[in-house]
Amino acid sequence: MIINNMVNVYEIHRYTGDDFQYVVARTNKYAEEKIRKDVERMNAMLSDELKAQGIRYVFAIGSSPTEMIKHQASKRERKQSSV
C-alpha cells in the first residue's frame, strides 16, 4: 500500500503585469483559505500608484515539500553566513 505524504505548499507570488517577479512567501503551516485571504488583503493594501504599475500578488500552489525543505535550508545558511 502506498501512503501519500504530500503536503500542499502554498505560495504568494508578486507580479508586475504578467511578469513573475519573485516568491513573497511560502508555507505549509496554514490552510489554503487563509493564504488566499492574505493575498486578497495584500492586494487591497496596494497604493493606487503600485496598482497603476501593474503590481499584484497571486496565490499559487507551490513546489513539492522537498523544495520547501531546500528553501528553508538555504534560508538558514544565508542567515548563519550573515552573522
Residue spans of the domains in the chain: they are: 10-81
- What percent of the chain has a predicted confidence (pLDDT) above 90? 61
Neighbours of 16 (CB within 10 A): 12
**42 contacts 12 by C-beta, under 8 angstroms:** yes
Q: Give yes or no for residue 11 having a pLDDT over 90.
A: yes
**35 contacts 51 by C-beta, under 8 angstroms:** no
Q: How many helices (H) and strands (E) are present in the chain, helices listed first?
A: 3, 3
**pTM (two decimals):** 0.69
Quick one: average pLDDT of 32-57?
Answer: 97
Q: Give yes or no for residue 80 having a pLDDT over 70.
A: yes
Q: Give yes or no for residue 75 having a pLDDT over 90.
A: no
Arithmetic mean of pLDDT over the chain: 84
Q: Give yes or no for residue 62 having a pLDDT over 60.
A: yes
Q: What is the phi/psi pair of residue 27, to 5°?
A: -150, 155
16 Cβ contact partners less than 8 Å away, ≥ 6 residues apart:
53, 54, 55
**13 contacts 23 by C-beta, under 8 angstroms:** yes
